[in-house]
Structure 1
Amino acid sequence: MKLTKGLEQAICILAMLSTQDNHIPITSRVLNSRLNGTSHSYIRKIIRKLVVSGLATSIPGSSGGFRLAKQPEKINLLEIVEALEGEIVTYPNSGMINQVFSDLGETASNGEKMLTMVFEEADNQYTSFLKQQTLDQLIWSTIGRTELPAIDWNEK
């Protein structure tokens, strides 16, 4: 499984929303400017996914923009990954084992089940780890402090 660069961009957007005063939405103009090099339509797709998944809120109007929908400590990396990439399933069981070893009958079926179980366990461990990592912890680790700075990204 390879995660897309949209995930990194979504984390940047959420980090900005986390440090913005929640009473002042960040404008799409500011997000476009800060994610320089990313097309406006692609940024809109990312933000749409964040809004649909309940991680961000869209505020309409001339003084509108985007806000964080929940506190940063309530957002984990699994939610962000799943919002952008969908459910984590790393093994695409296409039935190849049963096809290749069809003459072995139940042995082929057991092999397919075993491989599927191994990858399901790996996915469970991966998702469990991501679920423990929160957005605020990620920001704290990055800036070296245990409080989020207050930045008005619209004024920067």
Structure 2
Amino acid sequence: MQLTSFSDFAFRALIYLGTLPKEELTSISRVTEVYGVSRNHMVKVINKLGHAGFVTTVRGKKGGIRLAKAPAEIGLGDVVRALEPLKLVDCGSPFCHIVPACRLKGVLEEATNAFLAALDQYTLADMLSNNPHLVTLLQQPPAR
């Protein structure tokens, strides 16, 4: 299974936000600068993460973004469920006429569930804990 760039950017944003001191705010511009990614795309990602309850946005002159929950409360599987269209095939008519005899949908659902079950074993905290090299890398400008 391959995640979309939307989820890729979301995980990058969450990892960066998770390295900040608790309650510290940062900007979307800073997140895009750290990773060298499209600001326009990151705005959409942060908006979706906010609606899903992973990120808090604070408006105003002293506003910004930060994690809405502790890293230990952000499950990787939950992030994927909130952001990815997990329906791998569209078996609806008129797309496919073999639906009554096809077993593929069940196999793909089983594979998706196994993928999510593996992700459910980890939280954002697992990605951050005992990883000082990560913090160092995030403080450096991206290579161009």
RMSD after superposition? 2.8
Secondary structure in structure 2 of the residue aligned to 1:132: coil
1:122–1:59 CA distance, 2 compared to 1 (3 A): same
1:41 aligned partner: 40
Distance 2:63 2:41 in 1: 19
Partner deviation per Cα, 1:4-50 (whole Å, 9 max, x = no partner): 122222111111111212222112231232132x2221110010011
Matched, 1:134 2:129: no
The percentage of counterpart residues that share the same residue type is 29
How far the C-alpha of 1:82 sits from its partner, in A, is 2.4
Distance 1:23 1:74 in 2: 15
1:89 aligned partner: 87
Matched, 1:78 2:77: yes
Q: Is the 8 A contact 2:76 2:119 kept in 1?
A: yes
Question: Which structure would you say has the larger Rg?
Answer: 1
Secondary structure in structure 2 of the residue aligned to 1:90: coil
How far the C-alpha of 1:72 sits from its partner, in A, is 0.7
Secondary structure in structure 2 of the residue aligned to 1:54: coil
Distance 1:144 1:67 in 2: 20
How far the C-alpha of 1:115 sits from its partner, in A, is 2.7
Matched, 1:120 2:109: yes
Question: Across the two proteins, how many residue pairs are aligned to each other?
Answer: 137
Structure 2: which amino acid aligns with 1:136? A
2:25 aligned partner: 25
How far the C-alpha of 1:98 sits from its partner, in A, is 6.6
